[in-house]
Amino acid sequence: MTNNNKKVQASIVGLGYYVPPKVMTNFDIEKIVDTNDEWIMTRTGIKERRIAADDVASSDLGKEAALKAIKDAGLSAKDIDLIIVATISPDMIFPATACVLQKMIDAPQAACFDISAACSGFPYALTIAAQFIETGFYKNVLVVAAEALTHLIDWQDRSTCVLFGDGAGAAVVSRSRDGGGLLASSLGAAGQYVDLLKLPAGGSRMKATHQTVDDRLHYLKMAGNEVFKIAVRTMEKAAREVVEKAGISLHDVDCLIPHQANMRIIKAVYERLEIPKEKVFINVDRYGNMSGASTIVALCEAIEQGKVKKGSIVVIAAFGAGFTCGANVIRW
C-alpha cells in the first residue's frame, strides 16, 4: 500500500504469445476422420488450428510466450518473483510445469505453481497474480497459459478432434505504471457438471492400465450438446457479474474477449449481452479452442490489430471443464 492508503492497482505490463508453426486445416482433418469442412464450419466456425509437434510440450510453447512477455515488460527473468502456469496439458502430473518453465527461462529466484482451471485458466491465473501484487507480496508475477492440448485429443473421435488447437500466451503482472489495470474479477465453478468434460484416466481416480489405454480413456471426453448450453449461460453470467463489480455497464465495454471455444457459443453470448459484434474479438476460426491460452492469445492479437488501445475497457470471459468460469475487467 502507498502512504495515503490508496489501493495498489495490479496491471499487465508485458504480453507475449506463441503458436506452433504447423497448421491443420479442416481439409487435413477430412483425411483422418469422417467429417468435412462444411460440417466443421457450420457447427464450430473453425477453419484451421495450430498443432504442436510430438516432441513439443506445453512448457516449450510457454517458454516462447514468457520470454516475449518479459521483454515487453522491460524486465529480465531475474526480476520475476512468481511463475503461475495455467494448463490442463501439463508436461507431466508432477512436478509443476511452472517449475519446468522456471528452469527454461532461468528464473531460479521465482516461486512456482500450476493451476488447473481448464479454459478459464487465464482469467483465474490473472486474478491470482493480482492478489500478490495488490498486497505487496510480490512485485512481478509471470502468468503463462500454455496448452499442447492436441496431444490429449482422440483423433478417432470426430466430435472432439476438430475443436482443439495448441498455443500459449504470457503476461507479466506488476503494479500499474500508468493508471490502467485490473478493475474487477469474478471466478466460479459448478462441480456438478464434472462428468460432461474430462480426461478420465491417468490420475488417482482411474490409474493407467492396459484396459484404460485400450478403452482410449487417456483422451479428452466431452458431452457436446450439454456443454454448449451451460457454456453460454456461464459466460453471460460471468460477464454481467464482473462488469457490475467494476462499477460500469456493458455499454462501457470497448472490447469483449470471450473464450474461443465455438463460434456459435461466442455469438450466443455477445447477443445475450447486447454487445455489438464489432466490439467482440474473435480468432477461433484460425486457432480453434486453445483452452486456457485462448483468451490471452486473443488479447495479444486484439492489441496488435488495434482493437484494444490505451484507455480501452476490456472484458475477458471464459468457461471450462469443472465447470469453471472466470472474467476480468481491464482498463488498458
Interatomic CA distance for residues 295 and 185, integer angstroms? 14
Report in angstroms the alpha-carbon separations of 27 from 10, 34, 156, 181, 287. 44, 11, 16, 42, 15
Counting Cβ atoms within 10 Å, is residue 111 exposed (0-12), middle (13-18) or buried (19+)?
middle
Is 151 designated active site? no
Surface-to-core class of residue 279, CB atoms within 10 Å of its CB (0-12 exposed, 13-18 middle, 19+ buried): middle
Give the CA distances from residue 172 to residues 31, 78, 149, in Å, rounded to whole numbers and listed in that order. 41, 13, 23
Radius of gyration of the chain (CA): 19
Residues 20 and 46: their CA atoms lie apart, in Å, by: 17
160: cell is: 472432439
Q: Among 26, 112, 255, 259, which one carries the catalytic annotation?
A: 259
In angstroms, the Cα distances linking 185 to 9, 36, 243, 323 are 13, 39, 9, 17
Task: Respond yes or no: is residue 225 known to be catalytic.
Answer: no
How many CA within 13 A on the CB side of residue 102?
Answer: 21
Query: Using an 8 Å Cβ cutoff, are 118 and 185 in contact?
Result: no
Residue 218 annotated to the active site: no
Gap between the Cα atoms of 96 and 328, Å rounded = 25
Q: Which of 289, 300, 325, 328 is catalytic?
A: 289
Answer yes or no: are the C-beta atoms of 222 and 216 closer than 8 Å.
no
Catalytic one among 99, 119, 161, 300? 119
Is 218 within 8 Å of 199 (Cβ atoms)? Answer: yes
Catalytic residue annotation: 119, 259, 289
